[in-house]
Amino acid sequence: STVNAFTSASGESKFLESGTLTPEEFVEAGDQLTFKFPTWRWEAGDANLRASYLPQEQQYLITRNVPCRDRVRALDSALDQIKTEDDWLLPPEVSTSGASKDCLQDVDDLASPKEGKAEVGPVLNFNADDDFLGDGAKASNLPDFSDLDKQLQEEDGYPAASAPAAPASVIVAEAPDANILKTRTYDLSITYDKYYRTPRLWLFGYNENGDPLTPEEVYEDVLSDYKSRTVTVDPHPLTGTPTVSIHPCQHAQVMKKVIDDWIEQGLTPRHDLALFVFLKFISSVVPTINYDFTMEIEF
Amino acid sequence: MAQPAAATKDFEPLQAAPDVGFWQELSQRKLDLWRLDSSNVPVTAFYEASQASRVPAKCFLQKDAFQDTRVPVGAVKVVGELKNFNTEEEFRAFLGNADARQSCLAEAVAQISSAIASGKALQEPWQLRRLLLCSFADLKKYHYSYLLTLPALKTPKPWQRVREPIEDLGPEVLALVAKGLREKDFDGLCLLTRAADVGWSLRPMADLLNVKVESEDDLILVFVDPSSEEAPAWSLQNALVLLAKHRPGRRRVLAFRDPQLAGASGYTSSGPQLRSLLFRYALDAEMESSGDCRAGWSKIATVDLTRFLDSKMVAANAV
- Cross-chain residue pair A38–B182, CB shorter than 8 Å: yes
CB B281 within 8 A of CB A188: no
Q: Which tens digit of pLDDT belongs to each residue from B274-303?
A: 999 999 999 998 888 787 899 889 999 999
Most A CBs within 10 Å: which of B11, B22, B48, B51, as the mutation test of the A interface? B51
Share of chain B above pLDDT 90, in %: 79
Whole-angstrom CA distances from B49 to B158, B201, B208, B275, B316 are 25, 19, 22, 11, 38
B54 touches chain A (CB under 8 A): yes
pLDDT for residue A121: 31
Residue A138 pLDDT > 90: no
pLDDT for residue B264: 62
Taking Cα atoms as reference points, which of B176, B160, B284, B288 lies closest to residue B222? B176
B299 touches chain A (CB under 8 A): yes
What is the mean pLDDT of the segment spanning A33-43?
Answer: 92
Nearest to A145 among B1, B145, B317 (CB): B145
Q: How far apart are CA A247 and CA A227, in angstroms?
A: 10
The percent helix, strand, coil of chain A (3-state, each to 5) is 40, 15, 45
Highest averaged pLDDT of the listed ranges A3-17, A208-222, B4-18: A208-222
pLDDT for residue A223: 87
CB A271 within 8 A of CB A15: yes
* Lowest-confidence region among A111-115, A191-195, A287-291, B286-290: A111-115
CB B98 within 8 A of CB A156: yes
B140 touches chain A (CB under 8 A): no
CB B189 within 8 A of CB B221: yes
Mean pLDDT, all residues of chain A: 75
A172 contact residues in B (CB cutoff 8 A): 1, 3-4, 7
B300 contact residues in A (CB cutoff 8 A): 145, 148-149, 152
- Cross-chain residue pair A142–B318, CB shorter than 8 Å: no
Whole-angstrom CA distances from A201 to A60, A144, B18 are 10, 36, 21
DSSP B16-76: EEE-HHHHHHHHHHIIIIITT----EEEEEEE----SSS---EEEE-GGGGT-----TTPE
B204-209 contacts at long range (C-beta below 8 A, 24 or more positions apart): B205/B121, B205/B122, B205/B123, B205/B125, B205/B242, B206/B122, B206/B123, B208/B122, B208/B243, B208/B246, B208/B247, B209/B119, B209/B122, B209/B246, B209/B247
Taking Cα atoms as reference points, which of A189, A36, A30 lies closest to residue B260? A36
Nearest to A39 among B98, B147, B259 (CB): B259
- Cross-chain residue pair B51–A131, CB shorter than 8 Å: no
A185 contact residues in B (CB cutoff 8 A): 55-56, 58
What is the mean pLDDT of the segment spanning B35-62?
Answer: 94
Most B CBs within 10 Å: which of A154, A156, A184, A272, as the mutation test of the B interface? A156
Whole-angstrom CA distances from B135 to A146, A267, B23 are 16, 56, 10
CB B50 within 8 A of CB B223: no
Residue A229 pLDDT > 80: no
- Cross-chain residue pair B266–A43, CB shorter than 8 Å: no
CB B57 within 8 A of CB B13: yes
B2 contact residues in A (CB cutoff 8 A): 170
CB A61 within 8 A of CB B36: no
Residue A136 pLDDT > 60: no
pLDDT for residue A95: 34
CB B252 within 8 A of CB B213: no
- Cross-chain residue pair A149–B299, CB shorter than 8 Å: yes
Q: How far apart are CA B89 and CA B70, in angstroms?
A: 34
- Cross-chain residue pair B259–A38, CB shorter than 8 Å: yes
Q: Which tens digit of pLDDT belongs to each residue from B117-126?
A: 999 999 999 9
Q: Which tens digit of pLDDT belongs to each residue from B187-243?
A: 999 999 999 889 999 999 999 999 999 999 999 999 999 999 999 999 999 999 999
Which residue of chain B is at minimal alpha-carbon distance from A37?
B263
- Cross-chain residue pair B60–A64, CB shorter than 8 Å: yes
Burial of A110 (0-12, 13-18, 19+ CB in 10 A): middle
C-beta neighbour count of A74 within 10 angstroms: 10
Residue B184 pLDDT > 50: yes
Residue A158 pLDDT > 80: no
CB A15 within 8 A of CB A269: yes
Q: Which tens digit of pLDDT belongs to each residue from A60-79?
A: 999 999 999 999 887 766 65
Taking Cα atoms as reference points, which of A186, A202, A187 lies closest to residue A248? A202
B280 touches chain A (CB under 8 A): no
Catalytic residue among A249, A259, A279, A286: A249
β strands within B113-243, DSSP E: 130-138, 143-149, 152-153, 161-164, 189-195, 199-204, 219-224
B157 contact residues in A (CB cutoff 8 A): 168
Q: How far apart are CA B111 and CA B289, in angstroms?
A: 13
Q: How far apart are CA B115 and CA A26, in angstroms?
A: 44
CB B283 within 8 A of CB B162: no
Burial of A202 (0-12, 13-18, 19+ CB in 10 A): buried
Whole-angstrom CA distances from B144 to A244, B27, B134 are 22, 10, 11
Q: What is the DSSP letter of B265?
A: P
Whole-angstrom CA distances from B85 to A272, B31, B71, B146 are 49, 13, 26, 10
Most A CBs within 10 Å: which of B3, B9, B153, as the mutation test of the A interface? B9
pLDDT for residue A168: 37
CB B44 within 8 A of CB B252: no
pTM of the entire predicted model? 0.85
| Crossing angle of the two packed helices B88-95 and B98-118, in degrees rounded to 10 | 60
pLDDT for residue B272: 60
pLDDT for residue B263: 86
Q: Complex ipTM, two decimals?
A: 0.91
A292 contact residues in B (CB cutoff 8 A): 51, 260
**Count of CB contacts below 8 A, A vs B?**
215
Q: Which tens digit of pLDDT belongs to each residue from B237-277?
A: 999 999 999 999 999 999 999 998 998 654 443 456 899 99
pLDDT for residue A135: 43
DSSP B205-257: GGGTTT---SSGGGEEEEEE----SSSPBTTHHHHHHHHHHHS-EEEEEEEE-
Which residue of chain B is at minimal alpha-carbon distance from A144?
B302
B3 contact residues in A (CB cutoff 8 A): 172
pLDDT for residue A130: 34
Nearest to B7 among A64, A141, A160 (CB): A160
- Cross-chain residue pair B296–A158, CB shorter than 8 Å: yes
- Cross-chain residue pair B263–A241, CB shorter than 8 Å: no
Q: How far apart are CA B177 and CA B159, in angstroms?
A: 25
- Cross-chain residue pair A152–B95, CB shorter than 8 Å: yes
Residue A175 pLDDT > 70: no
B259 touches chain A (CB under 8 A): yes
* pLDDT band per the 50, 70, 90 thresholds, residue A298: low
Residue A141 pLDDT > 90: no
Q: What is the dihedral of CA A78, A293, A190, A90, to 10 degrees?
A: 40
Q: Going by DSSP bridges, is the β-strand pair B219-224/B249-256 parallel, antiparallel, or unpaired?
A: parallel
Which H or E run includes B80? strand B76-85
What is the mean pLDDT of the segment spanning B157-180?
Answer: 94
Q: What is the DSSP letter of B101?
A: H
Q: Which tens digit of pLDDT belongs to each residue from A245-255?
A: 999 998 999 99
Buried b (16+ CB within 10 A) or exposed e, B30-46: beeeeeeeeeebebbbb
Q: Give the minimum alpha-carbon distance from B313 to chain A in angstroms, rounded to a whole number.
A: 8
Please confirm, yes or no, whether A103 is among the known catalytic residues.
no
- Cross-chain residue pair B72–A43, CB shorter than 8 Å: yes
Q: How far apart are CA A56 and CA A54, in angstroms?
A: 6
What is the mean pLDDT of the segment spanning A195-203?
Answer: 96
Taking Cα atoms as reference points, which of A160, A214, A87 lies closest to residue B11? A160
